[in-house]
Amino acid sequence: MKPVPARSHNPPTMQVLSEAFRSGTLSPVAATKTCLDRIEGLGRSLNCFITVLGDSALKAAEESERRYRAGAPLGPLDGIPIAVKDLFYIAGVRCTAGSKILKDNIAGYDATTVRYLKEQGAILVGTTNMHEFAAGVTSDNPHFGPVRNPWDSERVAGGSSGGSSVAVATGMAAGAIGTDTAGSVRIPAALCGIIGFKPTYGRVSRIGVVPLAASLDTVGVLAQSAWDTAALLQAITGHDKSDITTVDEPVPNYLESLSTPFQGARIGVVRQYFHEDVDPRVEENFEGFASNLREIGCTTGEADLGPVREVYDKWLIIRRAEATAFHQRWLDSTPELYGADVRRLLEQGEDIRAVDYINAFNSRPAIIERFSQAMDRFDFLIAPTTSIPAPKIGQSATSIKGKEVSVYSALNRLTLPFNYVGFPVASIPSGFADGLPLGVQVIGKLFEEATVLRLIRAYEERFGPFSLPSLESRTETS
C-alpha cells in the first residue's frame, strides 16, 4: 500500500486555522466567509446543508476576531467554522432531524454539545442534511434530497451524518459533529475520506439531541486530522448531570496527549465476521493498512471476539424497539409523513417482544466483558469500516463475491457491534478503491480515546496528511 499523497489543494485544518488566527495571518471572519461561500456553491450541488446560519456565523466570527485582537481567544476552537448535524438543538434555529414531521420545529435551547462549542468560540455555520431521523446509512433523504459524495456526486455520502462528513471533506466547515448509533459518524467518514470518531458511550451528553435509540446513540466528531479530532472531542466531552447516561469519568487532555511519543502498539485483527462478505478491494486495502501499521512499529495478531453475529442480532432488537418507542406517537398519528424506508424500519420495531428487548439489553455487560478480555493482549483492534466503497444513490443491494447483500447491511454490519458494547472507535482513511475512499476502524478500550488519537497522529506523521477531493474535482461536481 502506497503512502497517502500529501495534499496541495485542500482546505486548511482546524489546527492550521487556529495557528493562523493567533499569528494574525488570517482572521475568523475571512475563514467563515470562505466556508459560507463554499456552502453557497458546492453546498447546493452536494446538498449537504439544511439550514445555513450566515448572519449569526459572521456575527460570531466578528466577536472572535475582537478576542484575538485583544490577545484573549477562548481556546483552540475560537473562530473555527463548525457544522452541526440537523439533529442538535441550536436555540432559535429549526431542527428538522431530516424529517417532514419536524420541518417547522424551532429549538428553544442549545444542546449541551452546542453550548460547549459556543462557549469555546466555535462558529456554527449551519445544520447539515442527514438520513431522516438518523434511521439509515446513506443520507438519501426523501424530504431534503440525497447528500452527494464529493468524490462522485452520483454516489451516497454515507449516513446518517452524511452532510456533516461532506461539509468537512469539502471545506464548507473545518470540523463537524454528528451522531453514531450503528456507525453513523464512521460510515460517512469512510466513504468521504475523513476521520470519524465515536467516543466511548457515556462520554458526551445527548441533551438536546433528537434520539434514535437512546442506549446506543453516541455523539461523535468528523475532522481532517488527529489534532482537529482531539480539539473537537476536548470541547464536547465530559459528565453532564442533566444526562444520566453520561459517565463521571475523568477526561484527559486529548491535545496534550498527542505530544506523547508513540512507542508502537499491539494490534488485534478480528477475522471472524469482520472479514466475511467483504468486497475484495476492501480486503486488499485493509491488508495494506495493516502493513503500514507495522511500519510505524506496531505488531499484529489474531483476536477472537467470539460470536459477533449474535451481537448484531441483539443490537437490532434494541435499535428497533427504542426507535419505535420514541416514534410511536407519530407512527400512530401521521405515518404518511415518513419516508418509506424509515417508516418500514420503525414499523418492524412494533413486533419486538418485551422479553426479547430485555434479554438483548441485559446481555450487554457479559458481552462487553468478553470483548474487553479479548483485548487484554492488544492495545487496539482494527477492522474495515464498510464492506464496500460508496454505492450509487438509490442502490438497494450490491454483489459481494457473487452474493447479493443489502446496501444497508454492507455499510453498517462492521460498525454497529461497537455501538452495542460502547467502545471508542475511529474510522480513518486507509486508501482508495477505483477512486473512492475507504476507511479502517481503530477500536480502543473503554475511555481510552487518547490512545486511539495517538495512533492516528503517528500514522499521519509517517504517511502524510489524508487525501481529500481536489479543488478540480469539486469544481466538476458543482
Report the 10 Å Cβ neighbour count for 201.
Answer: 23
Domain regions of the chain by residue span:
14-477
Helix, coil or strand: residue 107: coil
In this predicted structure, the answer to whether residue 357 has a pLDDT above a threshold of 50 is yes
- pTM (global) more than 0.85: yes
In this predicted structure, the answer to whether residue 351 has a pLDDT above a threshold of 70 is yes
Average pLDDT, the chain: 95
Band of pLDDT at residue 470, cut at 50, 70 and 90: low
Distance CA 238, CA 222 (A): 18
DSSP annotation string for 9-62: SSPPPHHHHHHHHHHTSS-HHHHHHHHHHHIIIIIHHHT-EEEE-HHHHHHHHH
Q: How many helices (H) and strands (E) does the chain have?
A: 18, 17
**Nearest-5° angle of CA 258, CA 262, CA 267?**
115
In this predicted structure, the answer to whether residue 471 has a pLDDT above a threshold of 50 is no
Q: Is the sign of the CA dihedral 449, 408, 44, 92 positive or negative? A: negative
Q: Which of 85, 198, 314, 445 is catalytic?
A: 85
Tens-digit pLDDT profile for residues 101-139: 999 999 999 999 999 999 999 999 999 999 999 999 999
The domain made up of 14-477 has a fold known as Amidase signature (AS) enzymes (3.90.1300)
Q: Which of 99, 184, 205, 430 is catalytic?
A: 184
Alpha carbon distance, N-terminus to C-terminus of the chain:
31
Per-residue pLDDT, averaged over 278-301, amounts to 97
Cβ burial, residue 409 (10 Å; 0-12/13-18/19+): middle
Residue 74 DSSP label = -
Distance CA 112, CA 228 (A): 20
Q: Distance from CA of residue 321 to its chain's centroid?
A: 23
Cβ burial, residue 478 (10 Å; 0-12/13-18/19+): middle
Distance CA 340, CA 237 (A): 35
Tens-digit pLDDT profile for residues 238-262: 999 999 999 999 999 999 999 999 9
Q: What single letter denotes the amino acid at residue 126? A: G
Band of pLDDT at residue 8, cut at 50, 70 and 90: very low
Of 378, 366, 372, 367, which is closest to residue 447 (Cα–Cα)?
372
In this predicted structure, the answer to whether residue 215 has a pLDDT above a threshold of 90 is yes
Beta-carbon-side half-sphere exposure of residue 98 (alpha carbons within 13 Å): 37
Report the 10 Å Cβ neighbour count for 440.
Answer: 24
Tens-digit pLDDT profile for residues 439-467: 999 999 999 999 999 999 999 999 988 87
**Does the annotation count 160 as an active-site position?**
yes
Q: So what's the pLDDT on residue 477?
A: 36
Band of pLDDT at residue 9, cut at 50, 70 and 90: very low
Cβ burial, residue 386 (10 Å; 0-12/13-18/19+): buried
Residue 178 DSSP label = E
Which helix (H) or strand (E) element contains residue 381? Answer: strand 380-384
Cβ burial, residue 364 (10 Å; 0-12/13-18/19+): middle
Tens-digit pLDDT profile for residues 158-177: 999 999 999 999 999 999 99
Distance CA 442, CA 452 (A): 7
In this predicted structure, the answer to whether residue 41 has a pLDDT above a threshold of 50 is yes
Distance CA 124, CA 54 (A): 9
- Report yes or no: 73 and 21 within 8 Å, Cβ to Cβ: yes
Q: So what's the pLDDT on residue 356?
A: 98
Band of pLDDT at residue 1, cut at 50, 70 and 90: very low
Per-residue pLDDT, averaged over 269-298, amounts to 96
Grid cell at residue 115: 453550548
Per-residue pLDDT, averaged over 405-425, amounts to 98
DSSP annotation string for 260-324: SPP---EEEE--TTTTSS--HHHHHHHHHHHHHHHHTT-EEEE-----HHHHHHHHHHHHHHHHH
2 or 263: which leads in pLDDT = 263
Cβ burial, residue 264 (10 Å; 0-12/13-18/19+): middle
Q: Which of 160, 205, 427, 430 is catalytic?
A: 160
Per-residue pLDDT, averaged over 77-81, amounts to 98
Distance CA 464, CA 226 (A): 12
**Does the annotation count 291 as an active-site position?**
no
Per the rule left: phi > 0, alpha: psi between -120 and 50, beta: everything else, 5 is beta
In this predicted structure, the answer to whether residue 5 has a pLDDT above a threshold of 70 is no
Q: Distance from CA of residue 38 to its chain's centroid?
A: 21
CA-to-CA separations, 259 to 285, 293, 296, 450, in angstroms, rounded: 29, 19, 16, 11
- Report yes or no: 462 and 295 within 8 Å, Cβ to Cβ: yes
Q: Which long-range contacts (CB under 8 A, 24 or more apart) does 260-265 make?
A: 260/454, 262/296, 262/297, 262/454, 262/455, 262/457, 262/458, 263/297, 264/296, 264/297, 264/298, 264/299, 265/293, 265/297, 265/298, 265/299, 265/378, 265/379, 265/380, 265/451, 265/455
Cis peptide before 372 (omega within 30 of 0): no
Band of pLDDT at residue 474, cut at 50, 70 and 90: very low
Tens-digit pLDDT profile for residues 189-201: 999 999 999 999 9
**Does the annotation count 8 as an active-site position?**
no
